[in-house]
Amino acid sequence: MSKMIEKSERFVQKIVRIQQFISNIFLVFIMSIITIDVLGRNIFNQPLKGTFEMTELGAALLVFFALAVTHKQDDHITIDFLVDRFSEKVRNVINGLVEILIACIVFFMSFYMYENGVRTMERKATTTDLAISIHPFIFVITFALIIFALTAIFKALTYFGLAVNKK
């Protein structure tokens, strides 16, 4: 059973690394189109059409693709002055429970995002200027949320493993 979990975790981590790479591409894309838009607007008096929409969609994808890698590397803000007072075993149990809570909340979010994507697809919703369909972006965000939740589950398993290991 442990081998299967390790194999699954390695697979999810590969997806996380791919998502990190894609989020970096979106960051460069957003910086480029904003630069082109500003230069076009100020120098040629011709702004880039759809810059706001492309920035908006790109930023959404950037954020959701970066969630799992940020969580995996503990690069988010934490306030743990109370938890630091507990023993290492209790800290690991608390951190594991928090990870399970995070995973549950994110799974619920992904379920509702998927439902929103289906509704958006049925309504054939598009962006205003470029008429880009919105539902594929929502489905990609749903996938990114599921990967984030799986990352939290694997972190929970790691914390629980640390809590039961004898020293």
Q: Does pLDDT of 103 surpass 70?
A: yes
Provide the 3-class DSSP secondary structure of residue 79.
coil
Give the position of tokens 């970096």: 24
Q: Which pLDDT does position 1 carry in this prediction?
A: 55
* Residue 64 contacts residue 144 (beta carbons within 8 Å): yes
Counted domains in the chain: 1
Q: Give the range of the structural domain holding residue 142, as residue numbers without chain letter.
A: 2-164
The pTM of the whole model exceeds 0.85: yes
Q: Which pLDDT does position 118 carry in this prediction?
A: 97
Helices then strands, counting H and E runs in the chain, come out as: 4, 0
Confidence grade of residue 167 (pLDDT, cut at 50, 70, 90): low
- State pLDDT tens for residues 28-39: 999 999 999 999
- State pLDDT tens for residues 120-140: 999 999 999 999 999 999 999
- State pLDDT tens for residues 11-62: 999 999 999 999 999 999 999 999 999 999 999 999 999 999 999 999 999 9
CB atoms within 10 A of CB 38: 13
Q: Does pLDDT of 113 surpass 90?
A: yes
Q: Does pLDDT of 104 surpass 90?
A: yes
- State pLDDT tens for residues 78-90: 777 777 888 889 9
